[in-house]
Structure 1
Amino acid sequence: MEDLFSFNNDDYVKERLNELINQVSKLYSSKNIIAHYLDHFKRKAILTKLDDNAPESVKRVEKACNDFGIHNVSRFYHVESDYYNWELQRRAFRLIAPSINHLCKSVIFENTRCSHDSIDDPLNSRYYCVITQYVGSINTQKLLNFVRTLRHKQLSKKNYNFRVADEEKSIQLTGFESNGVSPIGMTFRIPIILTNAITELQPPVFYLGAGHIDWKLALPINSFIHATNCFIADLS
């Protein structure tokens, strides 16, 4: 097989790489492969132990996974320090993720018009942890509409205005810095909203921050939903 990287023609390399990506995507669409992938993923999760030298914030995520009863299906990855300088496809290859669609992030949103500062009521919290794909986006109007329906639209729209929370506030609430935010192991139990596109991924696993910019966490989607009792919404 020709070495893709031995050529100076960038267009040729990109074309061959795209062909490879498309072939992998088709491969993962097979039910037999999906079942095999999940079985392999879970076996690796059981066998893989977190490095003793992992940051304390990552160990906190691991403990939370244990408390949630999902430790045996959780996989941690220690990535290179320049990981976020890479293109999404290279990140997916690094994690052996099925596609770039499986790469996700957790973002803290604030309802700036909320009448209180509490997160105790998941139906009317000032803050929500929204999990979305890197290839996706969050429509704040849809987020507003969804959260408003949690209280059967008892409150007027004028009581809602969602924006990404200030980084300082996000760190205070989660205990995690930018690009390391994990929805598991947060300092405070912020209500979680999972974008529904994630639930449609095949194989049904997703990759998240693990408490530190250089660490990632992968989980079966259904295990995460069952453990966290998160909301699921169309926010794109």
Structure 2
Amino acid sequence: MFEERAIEELIDTISNLYASPKLALYYLDYFKQKAKNNVLVQEAPEPVKHVEQACKELEIRSVTRFYQVESDYYEWELQRRAFRLLAPSRKHLCKSVIFENTHSTHDSIDDPNNSKYYCVIVQYIASINTQKLMNFVRALSDKKISKKHYNFRLASPEKSLELTGFGNGGVSPIGMRNQIPIILSKNILSLQPPIFYLGAGHIDWKLALPADNFVEKTHCYIADLS
């Protein structure tokens, strides 16, 4: 018990150091320098190469880093994953999940203000409040659509794969097969340093980039979801 508490205190100390303005700025500069020199290996899976190409098209490749992780990565506890990626804290690890409005009167994603599906990005340490998600999406249409036409649930793995082209554990909001509207949890914008980590198209690959570059280039929505 004492050892576990000591380790947790050390982790908190490290996270607080990273969050200090001076070190956060240094980390961001260091990260961007590494990103410029980050080359994807030739053996990278095709979905990862597809994500990289999408980053180039969005003009964010120079600030994006790709990481290949071990095959048992998702068996690790969250802090070990953060250490593996050299992430400043557990808070910086995020996931992209596809939500489906099962009460939608249509199957289209063409109108981002009234799509049947949304790609939602949230921190692993946080949960998604589906009521807040519904309220946010409904407000996009000025609440002209009745509440009875909203019921957000996680899309099935099969549907997520069909829509994004990415399998479980590797969903990336960049390079999706279909242009699903993206909603970013607003808490991610408060991270210090302002870097977040995501799936990169394959379960064994991750990517990271500054949150402001992501928001600027993807034109994603930002919402309070927790």
Which structure 1 residue ranges, 4+ long, deviate > 2 Å from structure 2?
none
What one-letter code is carried by the residue in structure 1 that aligns with 2:64?
S
- State the secondary structure of the residue aligned to 1:106: strand
Within the alignment, does 1:15 sit opposite 2:12 as a pair? no
Q: Choose the corresponding residue for 1:164, options 154, 157, 169.
A: 154
Q: Choose the corresponding residue for 2:40, options 27, 50, 54.
A: 50
Structure 2 distance, partners of 1:19, 1:129, is 35
Q: Deviations over 1:183-221 (max 9, x none)?
A: 001000100000111111110000000000000010100
What one-letter code is carried by the residue in structure 2 that aligns with 1:155?
I
Report how far residue 20 of structure 1 moved. 1.6
Structure 1 distance, partners of 2:208, 2:116, is 28
- For the pair shown, the structure with the greater C-alpha radius of gyration is 1
Equivalent residue, structure 2, for 1:137 = 127
Within the alignment, does 1:39 sit opposite 2:29 as a pair? yes
- State the secondary structure of the residue aligned to 1:65: helix
Report how far residue 23 of structure 1 moved. 1.5
Q: Choose the corresponding residue for 1:78, options 68, 72, 75.
A: 68
Equivalent residue, structure 1, for 2:212 = 222
- State the secondary structure of the residue aligned to 1:94: helix
Equivalent residue, structure 2, for 1:5 = none
Structure 2 distance, partners of 1:12, 1:178, is 37
Structure 2 distance, partners of 1:23, 1:149, is 40
Within the alignment, does 1:174 sit opposite 2:164 as a pair? yes
Equivalent residue, structure 2, for 1:30 = 20
Unaligned runs of 5+ in 1: 1-10
**Identity %, equivalent residues:** 63
Note the aligned Cα RMSD (angstroms). 0.7
Report how far residue 16 of structure 1 moved. 2.6
Report how far residue 48 of structure 1 moved. 1.1
Within the alignment, does 1:109 sit opposite 2:99 as a pair? yes
Report how far residue 38 of structure 1 moved. 0.4
TM-score (ref. length: structure 1)? 0.94
Structure 2 distance, partners of 1:224, 1:45, is 14
Q: Choose the corresponding residue for 2:49, options 59, 62, 69.
A: 59
- State the secondary structure of the residue aligned to 1:199: helix
Q: Deviations over 1:93-128 (max 9, x none)?
A: 000000000000000000011111110100000000
Q: Deviations over 1:61-115 (max 9, x none)?
A: 0000000000000000000000000000000000000000000000000001111
Q: Deviations over 1:104-160 (max 9, x none)?
A: 000000001111111010000000000001000011111110000000001110111
Aligned residues: 226
Report how far residue 166 of structure 1 moved. 1.1
What one-letter code is carried by the residue in structure 1 that aligns with 2:182?
I
Structure 2 distance, partners of 1:178, 1:13, is 35
Q: Choose the corresponding residue for 1:200, options 190, 200, 220.
A: 190
Unaligned runs of 5+ in 2: none
Equivalent residue, structure 2, for 1:3 = none
Equivalent residue, structure 2, for 1:8 = none
- State the secondary structure of the residue aligned to 2:137: helix
Structure 2 distance, partners of 1:81, 1:25, is 26
